[in-house]
Homo-oligomer: A and B are copies of this chain.
Amino acid sequence: MKIRTLITSFNLLFFFVNGVSQNNDSVTIRKLYDYYLTNSNCYSNLNFLTTKIGGRLSGSQQAKNAVEWAKKAMYSAGADTVILQPCMVPHWERGKKEICRLQSNALKLNFLLNCVALGSSVGTGKLGVTAKVIEIKNFEELEHLGEKIIKGNIVFYNVFFDQTKIRTGNAYGETVKYRSRGASMAAKYGAVASLVRSMTSVADNEPHTGNMNYDTSICKVKIPSLAISYIAANKLVESLEKDNKLTVYIETHCQTLNDEPSFNVVGQINGSEKINEFIIAGGHLDSWDNGQGAHDDGAGVVQTIEIISAFKKLGIKPKHNIRAVAFMNEENGLAGGKAYAQYAQSHQEKHIAALETDAGGFTPRSFGVDTIKGLYRLAASWKNLFSPYLIDKIEKVGGGADISPLKELGVPCIGFEPDTQRYFDIHHTAADTFDKINKRELELGAGGIGALIYLIDKYY
């Protein structure tokens, strides 16, 4: 009985201390959300970044402007210091608007297909490319058809998003290989160009760009590669069914110039106790050129800058150094993510956790947290603190592209996941614009991120 009483007392004490602690935390978190929902600069910052600077592909003047803007925005937010971390980034330019024209004498058809060149693709130049089209469902089919069928033709990867995937990112993950490797795979069998059905969850006429890679281990020849819209892909399929000898004329003027110097922009609140320990949260500053990079990933940039404002305005003095990182070159190279990890290593900075927000400024749903070094277990214990704020899940395994080099160094990583339903409707399109942002959704995401960083700093 004595031992039992002792255990019970201990449990009660633990419960009490824990209860009081969680109560204090819930008060602070409530204050954070009140700030985010009524006084934050997320929305106005994003308005400026997207509508005044606009699309900001690595190497472009807009990307340079975005670096300048981020530095100012971080100082305005109250950063103790802002670091510009240099990195060399690719400089690919789209050039004149792409043309993709379907032509069928048999069907008396001659019309444009909505298209966009894929990032890193070579251009056709002004002479363009005209060829017949071979529709392909997957790489196995491509290999099966082989050079005999493919050579001299345009390969068209007609692969749909799997709409039954509840989280749209899973559908994207299945199809994106046709965008990234499709050109080299097609070139291997002698194709003169490759087209891909846009990776999209909506049946509309927006073509979705995104990066592709020439994999010289597959084929040394570089062929032009484009995405066509969902509707354009349907039209092409329908026309091919009636006339498999139809041709498509492609004209693109994209080119890869010399690499350019650029920067990650890192805003820091200095820690009061752990002066060489760092907790970072970041999004990426670069975006595709065809839209405004609002959800991808202006949202992530402004959400993480806002951590600085929130902590400063509420007088939260973190133990660790807290950094908001605006990574450069996530879209077509990851130079910024790699440079960040190298900087951390060369400066012998101890990173205890890294969060990335790069899934849009939608209503928050969950955090994915790495299980290593106890971070997941700790974060899961805060579930009740997040539940009132629409973050209902703390899931195992976290990360993001920009922080993946840190993950390789053993840093526990966290991915912020908002609602995913609308993201791939506009992802990498001209429609990824500021008007697609809902202010409250953006701010609620920022609130969740800010609250998580606050708790990690306090308890980890």
Binding site for B on A (CB under 8 A): 33-34, 37-38, 163-164, 166, 168, 201-202, 363, 365, 387-390, 392-393, 419, 421-422, 425, 438-441, 444
A438 touches which of B33, B166, B393, B421 (Cβ 8 Å):
B421
A419 touches which of B33, B201, B419 (Cβ 8 Å):
B419
A-B contacts, 14 of them at CB < 8 A, read: A33-B166, A37-B163, A38-B163, A38-B164, A166-B389, A166-B390, A363-B363, A365-B390, A387-B393, A390-B419, A392-B392, A421-B440, A421-B441, A425-B438
**Residue of B whose beta carbon sits closest to that of A163:** B37
Within the complex, the shortest CB–CB distance from A206 to chain B, in Å, comes to 14
CA of A35 to CA of B376 in the docked complex: distance in angstroms?
A: 35
Please provide the 8 A-B residue pairs with the shortest distance between their CB atoms, ordered closest to farther. A392-B392, A37-B163, A421-B440, A34-B164, A421-B441, A363-B419, A37-B164, A363-B421
16 new A-B contacts at CB < 8 Å, known A33-B166, A422-B441: A38-B164, A163-B440, A166-B388, A166-B389, A166-B444, A168-B440, A201-B440, A202-B439, A363-B363, A387-B393, A392-B392, A392-B393, A421-B438, A421-B441, A422-B438, A425-B438
CA of A166 to CA of B387 in the docked complex: distance in angstroms?
A: 11
Within the complex, the shortest CB–CB distance from A8 to chain B, in Å, comes to 22
Residues of chain B with a CB closer than 8 A to A393's CB: 387, 392
Residues of chain B with a CB closer than 8 A to A440's CB: 163, 168, 201, 421
Residues of chain B with a CB closer than 8 A to A38's CB: 163-164
CA of A374 to CA of B365 in the docked complex: distance in angstroms?
A: 29
Residues of chain B with a CB closer than 8 A to A421's CB: 363, 438, 440-441, 444
Within the complex, the shortest CB–CB distance from A448 to chain B, in Å, comes to 11
Residues of chain B with a CB closer than 8 A to A419's CB: 363, 390, 419
**Residue of B whose beta carbon sits closest to that of A388:** B166
CA of A255 to CA of B170 in the docked complex: distance in angstroms?
A: 53
CA of A280 to CA of B390 in the docked complex: distance in angstroms?
A: 28
Residues of chain B with a CB closer than 8 A to A422's CB: 438, 441
Residues of chain B with a CB closer than 8 A to A387's CB: 393
**Residue of B whose beta carbon sits closest to that of A201:** B440
**Residue of B whose beta carbon sits closest to that of A419:** B363
**Residue of B whose beta carbon sits closest to that of A389:** B166
CA of A33 to CA of B162 in the docked complex: distance in angstroms?
A: 13
